[in-house]
Structure 1
């Protein structure tokens, strides 16, 4: 990857840990990346939101840890096998990344049920598209359907060595199905079928309950000091500081 400018954001309130400030390293949003460049950045702990490629860079906190699942070593546990059985009636459809009214309507229902009061719950179609789709990125939208009913959508980027889970939203009226878990299990299997090595799950924060689900996909590797290492315990963040 050719050298490029990386910027540092101003301090802002952390979205995950109360009473902390966060800063981000980010690339210029108008930069056109190749998929090889983007794959390299994800392997270095970066992630994207729309066209913005970023990585946490907080001077007093290192709680955000980039994690990935080595898909060829993953085996579902008992709870995950039950989740697979509960959802075996769903049809999986892979679609190119583009705006669809049906997806957008489900996205708004999901946000209003799971994140009430959050700014994203009022997303316009433009906000939705800008968040999930990027012109230079090879992105797929995985639909999960129960006959004619759309149950979930999982958005993934195709990398040189894996898939990167961008976002998942699902029907909030079916909590017992575990659709979020099922989407990740499906992504792991999709990466394995493609002959890829990893599913990148973004950032894990041990002290944030919203991130706890990532611990359940073992073995899990975390990125620290320029290396990917196995997480020694699913309950301890090896890089978290008070």
Structure 2
């Protein structure tokens, strides 16, 4: 099966993609294109999957750059490949030939580009990272490398949607403590439960940061098991582990 790659006109003509799980070598609960080196999948199979992604992006596998994601607001500026992955959740570069990549399985994969100034970025933005400022940190890192804030386009890829993201009152309180206006991103559920709109929150933060454009591809990871891995769906189905989707962009 060939790889399925979701793209956005906002990031063209740069080569980029939000890869679905289709077209990979993994099997079992990981069936498809599992690119998560931290999963319990066979490491050699994950390496095959990542090599297929690198080939699709037109780079050698070692130039498919990624970080050790920790749900933080840390963004790093990348000028060359590194042997040991730094702990961070976003990357920015103005170096051609490097493909920035991040992994997700419900959290937001966000790709950034300032085509005119030749600067790109990629961020893993779960609720905690988004709340703490990982999207803004990515934009700042890009600007440090020569991007113009108003020329940056950002695209949020497949993420868990509001109807599938049920949370408790403590979660709601954390967002309200940050800003009472954040209540707009929650809808009432059963009893004391609520439903959080993660992509809407991400779009809000991106637009507040003053960039040129921001959009979501409108794909829900939880609701489409044939195309996407989902941590929450795996939890509900009591599976042992889950695959990780990859999103990547290169100059």
TM-score normalised to structure 1 length: 0.29
TM-score normalised to structure 2 length: 0.29
